[in-house]
Amino acid sequence: MNFGSMKEVFLTRARDMFVFDCYVGGFDPQAVNAYRHALDAFIRFTGNIKVRQLTPDYVEMYVANLLDGPYDGDEHDRLVMTQYAILQTWIHWMYLQKFVTERETSMERPIDLTHLFPPRSTRRLAHCE
């Protein structure tokens, strides 16, 4: 069977394969559902584009959009940071699966989100690293 270029995989297909790998890998079912929910929301935001079209700008815009949400406070900040961590894990998984074969230098390390979070959140971010 010829799959063609893995860069031609759509985000929904990459999400389904990632979630299946998590399930087969023995992840907690609640964690798998959280991953699916987070990735579904991201794909709704970006549209079901091809993996090769995904850029760091999409992730940064998505996180900025989440931060602009109607909620405020520590719980909301934790939710946004969790969503970001899930996206980073998924993108890293796609790289390992060779869906992403060329990495821009901006994709080689996590996006610096300290400018998106208020000062009280950036102090916590520094302690998480």
Query: Is the pLDDT assigned to residue 11 strictly greater than 90?
Result: yes
pLDDT at 99: 77
Q: How far lies 101's CA from each of 4, 11, 52, 84, 94, in Å?
A: 14, 15, 9, 22, 9
In this predicted model, which residue has the larger pLDDT, 87 or 1? 87
In this predicted model, which residue has the larger pLDDT, 50 or 102? 50
- 80, 90, 19: which is closest to 51 by C-alpha? 90
Q: What CATH class does 6-128 carry?
A: mainly alpha
Residue 98 Ramachandran class (φ > 0 left, ψ -120 to 50 alpha, else beta): left
In this predicted model, which residue has the larger pLDDT, 12 or 99? 12
In this predicted model, which residue has the larger pLDDT, 1 or 77? 77
pLDDT at 77: 83
Average of per-residue pLDDT across 83-105: 81
